[in-house]
Amino acid sequence: MPPDPNSSARRRLDALWARGTAFLGCELAIMGGAMSWVSERHLVAAISNAGGFGVIACGAMTPALLEAEIAATQALTTKPFGVNLITMHPALDDLVRVCLAARVGHVVLAGGIPPGGAVRAVKDGGAKLIAFAPALVLAKRLVRSGADAIVIEGSEAGGHIGPVSLNVLAQEILPALRDVPVFVAGGIGRGEAILAYLEMGASGAQLGTRFAASEESIAHPRFKQAFLRANARDALPSVQLDPRFPVIPVRGLVNPGTERFLAHQAEMVRRFIAGEIAKDAAQLEIEHFWAGALRRAVIDGDVEQGSVMAGQSVGMVTAIQPVAEILAELVAQACAALAAREAPAS
């Protein structure tokens, strides 16, 4: 049973994340993380319809595909939602134009420092710009360049990650950045954690892993079952074998494919040392190993050889729940913690 919106604890929670809800235009300042192949029309609409803020993961979509995905999402919800664009996408400018033409109110630029042209286009088009910051100095720079809100994502998150935990990022950034709303992400699975970051100065939170295993997620049943079986220590970053061949860290569930990747790296290093392959070609072979692996896991259900991206909060996924139930549970946990403080000491 969700907390009474008129209860003292719920009113206090609403006051704590009022800046976030006002910015997003929704009831709960909980954003859905943009997960490729997962954060599509059904999950995004479900999050927004339940009071949160869904975000479409554009990923490698073409402008035409993104246009169709936005339209399909708008057919499922009248509530606000955002679109996450990767800054390295070769058609970034066209993707921004698609978002603006469809009257998407919030554009998230992720995967690198947003180009000035894209920032100006988003701002001039009347949308709000959200950017990711892995350090305080960059967060301040992004705000100066036009970001309307910042997401700080810790290394506990699933998928591509930075080196610093959310616990440290929050202590570094939240007390020092008050100009814009700041949303926290990475390893969050319970309402008490959201509450703690709100009290530190966050305006809201972003969750991915719990929503990936929701009923509305189109992920394959085997993908969701892998989440149910896993615990935090099963979600590990990809390992780099040789510093001469960098590997972008990606957090996911360890499986036989992970072991094959290590063997593949070792073989490329051996061939390079033996003069059988050029360094650039070996690097490309390493980078291409996981090509298509996320889709194989999410859509085809190949959780043995596919890339099962998951955050360390995966241990808190104990059931396949509707999105509305997940959000109600998070709110109830936060309110229970607040109510406990109000209860008279026995």
Query: 204-207 and 182-185 as β-strands: parallel, antiparallel, unpaired?
Result: parallel
Q: What is the pLDDT of residue 345?
A: 61
pLDDT of residue 1: 52
User: Where do the DSSP E strands lie in 3-42?
Assistant: 30-32
Sequence-ordered list of residues with C-beta below 8 angstroms from that of 73, at least 6 positions apart, any chain: 40, 41, 44, 45, 54, 56, 81
Q: Rounded to an integer, what distance in angstroms lies between the CA atom of residue 182 and that of residue 187?
A: 16
Sign of the alpha-carbon torsion through 242, 248, 253, 257:
negative
Give 3's pLDDT tier (boundaries 50, 70, 90): low
The structure's pTM equals 0.95
- Report the distance separating Cα 105 and Cα 242, nearest Å: 43
Q: Using one digit for the tens of pLDDT, what is the confidence trace for 257-298?
A: 999 999 999 999 999 999 999 999 999 999 999 989 999 999
Share of the chain above pLDDT 70, in %: 98
Domains, in order of start, for the chain: 8-219+318-339 (3.20.20.70), 231-309 (no CATH)
User: What does the pLDDT look like over 190-208, one tens digit per residue?
Assistant: 999 999 999 999 999 999 9
pLDDT averaged over every residue in the chain: 96
